Chain A
Amino acid sequence: MPKQACIDIGNLTKSFSAGKTVAIENLSMAIEKGQIIGLIGADGAGKTTLLRLMTGLLLPDFGKLCVCGLDPTADKEALNCKIGYMPQRFGLYEDLSVIDNMKLYADLKNADRNFDSMLDFADLKRFKSRLAGKLSGGMKQKLGLICALMGNPELILLDEPSVGVDPISRRELLKMVKGVVDENRTVIWSTAYMDEAHGFDTVIVIDKGRSIYRGNPYDLASNAAELEGKIIELMGGYVQISSPVAENFRAKRTNVTYAVEALGLAKRYGDFHAVRDNTFRIKKGEIFGLLGPNGAGKSTSFRMMCGLIKPSGGTAKIMGIDVVEKPSLARSNLGYMAQKFSLYPNLSVRQNLEFFAGAYGLIGKDFADAIGRMTRVFALEKYLNSNSEELPLGYRQRLSFACALIHNPSVLFLDEPTSGVDVIARREFWNHITSLAKKDVTVLITTHFMDEAEFCDRISLFSKGQTIATGTPAELKKKAGAKTMENAFINLISKGEEETP
Chain B
Amino acid sequence: MKIIVALIRKEFLQIMRDPSSLIVAFILPTILLLIYTYGINLDAATVKIGIKNDDSNAEISSLMASFSQNKYTSVTTYFDREEMCNDIAGGKIRGAVTIPGDFSKKLAASREASISLITDCTDISQARYAQSYVSEIVNGWLVGRCGSAAPQRVILSPRFWYNQNLDGRWALVPSSLAVTMTLIGILLSALVISREWEHGTMEALLSTRVKPIHIVIGKYVPYFTVGMCSLAFSICVMVTFLGIPFRGSYPTLLLVSSLFLFACLGIGLLMSSVLKNQLLASMASIVVGFLPSLMLSGMIFPIGSMPKVFQWLTLILPPRYYVNFVKSEFLSGTIAHNVAVNGTFLLLLGLFFSMLVYRKTARRIDVRG
Q: For chain A residues 80-131, which have a beta carbon within 8 Å of chain B?
A: 80-81, 83, 85-96, 100, 103-105, 107-110, 131
Q: A80-B209, A95-B14 are in contact. Are A57 and B6 (CB under 8 A)?
A: no
Q: How many residues of B contact A (CB 8 A)?
A: 29
The reply to whether A80 and B208 form a contact with Cβ atoms under 8 Å apart is yes
Residues of A within 8 A of B210 (CB): 80, 108
A99 vs B186: C-alpha distance when bound (angstroms): 31
- Asked if B13 lies at the interface with its beta carbon under 8 angstroms from chain A, I say yes
- Asked if B111 lies at the interface with its beta carbon under 8 angstroms from chain A, I say no
A290 vs B209: C-alpha distance when bound (angstroms): 43
With both beta carbons as reference points, the residue of chain B lying nearest to A89 in the complex is identified as B200
The reply to whether A52 and B208 form a contact with Cβ atoms under 8 Å apart is no
Residue interface bits A44-74, CB-to-B below 8 A is 1, else 0: 0000000010011111000000000000000
Q: A58-B366, A89-B199, A91-B203 are in contact. Are A104 and B6 (CB under 8 A)?
A: yes
- Asked if A134 lies at the interface with its beta carbon under 8 angstroms from chain B, I say no
- Asked if B368 lies at the interface with its beta carbon under 8 angstroms from chain A, I say yes
Residues of B within 8 A of A88 (CB): 200
Residues of A within 8 A of B209 (CB): 77, 80-81, 108-110
With both beta carbons as reference points, the residue of chain B lying nearest to A57 in the complex is identified as B365
The reply to whether A94 and B208 form a contact with Cβ atoms under 8 Å apart is no
Residues of A within 8 A of B17 (CB): 95-96, 131
Q: For chain B residues 182-217, which have a beta carbon within 8 Å of chain A?
A: 199-201, 203-211
- Asked if B81 lies at the interface with its beta carbon under 8 angstroms from chain A, I say no
- Asked if A326 lies at the interface with its beta carbon under 8 angstroms from chain B, I say no
The reply to whether A96 and B13 form a contact with Cβ atoms under 8 Å apart is yes
Which listed residue (B7, B211, B368, B369) contacts A77, Cβ 8 A? B211
- Asked if B10 lies at the interface with its beta carbon under 8 angstroms from chain A, I say yes
- Asked if B363 lies at the interface with its beta carbon under 8 angstroms from chain A, I say yes
Q: A57-B364, A96-B13 are in contact. Are A105 and B208 (CB under 8 A)?
A: yes
Q: A76-B364, A95-B18, A104-B6 are in contact. Are A59 and B369 (CB under 8 A)?
A: yes
The reply to whether A94 and B199 form a contact with Cβ atoms under 8 Å apart is yes
The reply to whether B201 and A108 form a contact with Cβ atoms under 8 Å apart is no
Q: For chain B residues 348-369, which have a beta carbon within 8 Å of chain A?
A: 363-366, 368-369
The reply to whether B366 and A85 form a contact with Cβ atoms under 8 Å apart is no
Which listed residue (B2, B6, B207) contacts A83, Cβ 8 A? B207
With both beta carbons as reference points, the residue of chain B lying nearest to A76 in the complex is identified as B363
Interface pairs A-B: 3 shortest CB-CB: A91-B204, A107-B6, A89-B200
With both beta carbons as reference points, the residue of chain A lying nearest to B206 in the complex is identified as A57
Residues of B within 8 A of A57 (CB): 203, 206-207, 364-366
- Asked if B3 lies at the interface with its beta carbon under 8 angstroms from chain A, I say yes
Residues of B within 8 A of A92 (CB): 201, 204
Residues of A within 8 A of B6 (CB): 103-104, 107-108
Shortest distance from the beta carbon of B310 to any chain A beta carbon, whole Å: 32
Residue interface bits B252-272, CB-to-A below 8 A is 1, else 0: 000000000000000000000
The reply to whether B208 and A108 form a contact with Cβ atoms under 8 Å apart is yes
- Asked if B306 lies at the interface with its beta carbon under 8 angstroms from chain A, I say no
The reply to whether A87 and B2 form a contact with Cβ atoms under 8 Å apart is no
The reply to whether A93 and B201 form a contact with Cβ atoms under 8 Å apart is yes
- Asked if B5 lies at the interface with its beta carbon under 8 angstroms from chain A, I say yes
The reply to whether A85 and B14 form a contact with Cβ atoms under 8 Å apart is no
A80 vs B14: C-alpha distance when bound (angstroms): 25
Shortest distance from the beta carbon of B236 to any chain A beta carbon, whole Å: 29
Shortest distance from the beta carbon of A358 to any chain B beta carbon, whole Å: 24
Residues of A within 8 A of B14 (CB): 93, 95-96
The reply to whether A104 and B368 form a contact with Cβ atoms under 8 Å apart is no
Shortest distance from the beta carbon of A15 to any chain B beta carbon, whole Å: 12
With both beta carbons as reference points, the residue of chain B lying nearest to A95 in the complex is identified as B17
A-B contact pairs, 17 of them (CB 8 A): A56-B364, A57-B366, A59-B364, A76-B363, A85-B207, A86-B204, A87-B203, A89-B199, A90-B204, A91-B203, A93-B10, A93-B201, A95-B14, A96-B10, A103-B9, A104-B10, A108-B3
Residue interface bits B275-290, CB-to-A below 8 A is 1, else 0: 0000000000000000
A91 vs B9: C-alpha distance when bound (angstroms): 17
A94 vs B7: C-alpha distance when bound (angstroms): 15
Q: For chain B residues 1-42, which have a beta carbon within 8 Å of chain A?
A: 2-3, 5-7, 9-10, 13-14, 17-18
Q: A57-B365, A59-B368 are in contact. Are A85 and B204 (CB under 8 A)?
A: yes
Residues of B within 8 A of A77 (CB): 209, 211
Residues of B within 8 A of A109 (CB): 208-209
Residues of B within 8 A of A76 (CB): 363-364
Residues of A within 8 A of B207 (CB): 55-57, 80, 83, 85, 87, 91
Residues of A within 8 A of B366 (CB): 57-59
Residues of B within 8 A of A95 (CB): 13-14, 17-18
Please indicate which of the listed interface residues B3, B205, B206 has the most CB atoms of chain A within 10 Å of its own CB. Answer: B206
Shortest distance from the beta carbon of A23 to any chain B beta carbon, whole Å: 12
A-B contacts besides A52-B203, A81-B209, A108-B7, 18 pairs, CB < 8 Å: A57-B364, A77-B209, A87-B200, A88-B200, A89-B199, A90-B204, A92-B204, A93-B14, A94-B199, A95-B13, A95-B17, A96-B10, A96-B14, A100-B13, A104-B6, A104-B9, A107-B6, A110-B209
The reply to whether B203 and A107 form a contact with Cβ atoms under 8 Å apart is no
Residues of A within 8 A of B204 (CB): 85-87, 90-92, 147
Residues of A within 8 A of B10 (CB): 93, 96, 100, 104
